[in-house]
Amino acid sequence: MKLKVSELSTQEETFQWEFPVSWVQATLEKDAERDSLNASLYTATNPLTLDVHVYRNDQDEVFFYGTTEGAIGFTCVRSLEDGKMDVTLDISGVFRPRQAGVVAEDEEDPSFYLYEGDEIDFGEVVREQLFLFLPLNPTLSDDLPISPEQLAQASGNQATEKGVDPRWSALLNIQKKMGQNKPS
Per-residue pLDDT reduced to its tens digit, 29-63 = 876 555 556 667 899 999 999 999 999 998 889 99
- Give me the residue spans of the domains in the chain: 2-133, 148-177
Angle at 31 between CA 28 and CA 37, to 5 degrees: 80
Closest listed residue to residue 169, CA positions, set 161, 72, 16, 38: 161
Per-residue pLDDT reduced to its tens digit, 150-172 = 556 666 655 444 566 777 878 88
Count the neighbouring beta carbons within 10 Å of the beta carbon of residue 82: 12
User: Which pLDDT does position 161 carry in this prediction?
Assistant: 47
Backbone angles phi, psi at 144, to 5 degrees: -70, 140
> How far apart are the C-alpha atoms of 9 and 32, rounded to whole Å?
37
Alpha-carbon 147 to chain mean position: 29
The whole model's pTM is what? 0.68
